[in-house]
Amino acid sequence: MKVIALAAVTAGGKTTTVNEIKKQLSNVQTLHFDDYVFEGEVDDFYQWTLDGANYNVWNLEPLEKDILTIKNSGICDYLILDYPFAYCHEQIKKYIDTPLDIALARWILRDMGNASGEEIRNHLMGYLKYARMAFVQMQKDILPSSDYVIDGTMSTEYIAGEIINIILK
């Protein structure tokens, strides 16, 4: 069984792409980082970045346990992980590179569909003051620790197709 991880910043397209791959590729299982609550989970990414951006503060035992369960079960040929950290936390394989402006737009569209203009403005001010710094840090660390980089500005279908071609090589 192959384990393939897709890493990107928040709203970089991980979940959408993992779900598209699952539609296009047979005999696949998926795990999504956001489905877990981890001990040591970071709440303040601005401070986390100032403190050195240590990816290992997350205790990933629940995710690792599920990875091992699926690997040992033999129920699939591919395990696709929706996972933000690439090799920066002792596991994981692939990365989708998405420019921060596109990730920000996706984040707003995904999370703020019913927000007022004032709420969106406040969100953007928080992004500029705090969150962008953490996103830039992740790009600095994750991008060079990845096996493949795929243009995150392309359509989900294109990205999924590129990843499937890599998987099937």
Instruction: Give tens-digit pLDDT for 2-20.
Output: 888 888 888 888 999 999 9
Burial code (b: 16+ CB inside 10 Å, e: under 16) for 123-161 equals beeebeeebbbbbebbbeebeeebeeebebeeeeeebbb
Token pair listed for 105: 């737009």
pLDDT at 46 over 80: yes
**CA dist 166 → 109, 139, 145, 150, 159 (Å):** 30, 22, 17, 11, 11
The rounded percent of the chain whose pLDDT value lies above 70 is 95
pLDDT at 93 over 70: no
Measured on CA atoms in the order 77, 36, 107, 115, is the torsion positive or negative?
A: positive
Instruction: Give tens-digit pLDDT for 110-164.
Output: 888 899 999 999 999 998 998 888 888 888 888 787 888 888 888 889 999 999 9
By the 10 Å C-beta count (0-12 exposed, 13-18 middle, 19+ buried), 29 is classed as buried
Contact 91, 5 (CB under 8 A): yes
